[in-house]
Amino acid sequence: MSHTHRRDGRGRRRGGRNKARGRPCGAWGAALALACAAALTACGPDGGDADAAGTASDAPTSSAPTESAPAPTGTGAPAEPTQPAPPTSAAPSASPKPGGIARCETDALALSLVAHGQEMNSKYFDLRLTNTGGEPCDLLGHPGVSLLDAGGKRVGEPATRSQDGAGDGGPVRLRPGQAAHATVKTAGEGVTDGRCWPEAATLLVYPPGSKQTVTTRDLAGLRVCGDSFQVGPVGDRAP
């Protein structure tokens, strides 16, 4: 019995010794686990500083510039032709051509005035525009008529338009040497108590449709009275 008791006692002493030895191992394992956890927290994925790793990951990355593809050359579809820019200003248009013939120009017209008589207290004059060129030409409408004194200043007002004369408003075709006619009318001196404009020295005429003038100094006795000065459209015969 006593032998058995000693063996049990020895066994208890040995077990106590092992248990004492096991406590340090358990504490060391816990400390090692805490150290590893702290190391994992403090160390980055590459073993470097965690803050440095975060900064590097936040920094923008730049990629190499992409080269643009060169423009296709060779047998591609041809580009549309560039349209020419419109002209900034058009050239002056040609003279109107009533009936397909050019309008008479001033450098091919001669002006004359012929007294045509008096009727119903009015005096009439035949204003003639003669084609001095080598080609037919046309006139259409009313001429512009004014009187000038010896110094070139206008006398009174330009003639107003009327429908007197043989013109019907259509174009007048003039062969070389032919004349168009327009009727000029004013009041007779006897019915105006002598209320007349000063005598003029020059008759100035704008042919229909022209901005150039022709003149004559032969007024055939024309003197405007009663502030009545009128001109009709051109026609192909004298009034």
Mean pLDDT of the residues in the chain: 72
User: Given a cut of 50, is residue 20 above it in pLDDT?
Assistant: no
Does 71 have pLDDT greater than 50? Answer: no
* Nearest-angstrom CA–CA distance, 151 and 216: 15
The model's pLDDT over 73-88, given as tens digits with 9 standing for 90+, comes to 444 444 444 334 333 3
Extract the tokens encoding 145.
């008529």
∠ Cα 236 237 239 (to 5°): 130
C-alpha angle 103-106-111 in degrees, rounded to nearest 5: 115
**pTM exceeds cut of 0.75:** no
Q: Quick one: which of 209, 216, 211, 152 has its CA closest to 184?
A: 216
Query: Which of 4-13, 56-65, 148-157, 184-193: highest mean pLDDT?
Result: 148-157
Q: How many CB atoms lie within 10 A of CB 231?
A: 23
Non-local (6+) Cβ contacts of 215 within 8 A are: 111, 148, 202, 203, 204, 205
Contact (CB, 8 A) for 138 and 98: yes
3-state secondary structure of 57: helix
- The CA distances from residue 116 to 128, 168, 181, 217, 238, in Å, are 12, 19, 12, 17, 9
Answer yes or no: is pLDDT of 123 > 60.
yes
Structure confidence at residue 188 (pLDDT): 87
What is the pLDDT averaged over residues 159-167? Answer: 87
* Helix, strand, or coil (residue 215): strand
SS3 53: helix
Mean pLDDT of 165-172: 79
For residues 233 and 169, the model is more confident at: 233
Model confidence at 167, in pLDDT bands (50, 70, 90)? Answer: low
Q: Are 220 and 125 in contact (CB under 8 A)?
A: yes
pLDDT of 193 reads 77
Among the ranges given (24-28, 122-126, 182-186), the one the predictor scored with the smallest mean pLDDT = 24-28
d(CA 104, CA 129): 10
Please write the tens of the pLDDT for every residue from 32-67: 555 445 444 444 444 444 343 343 344 444 444 444
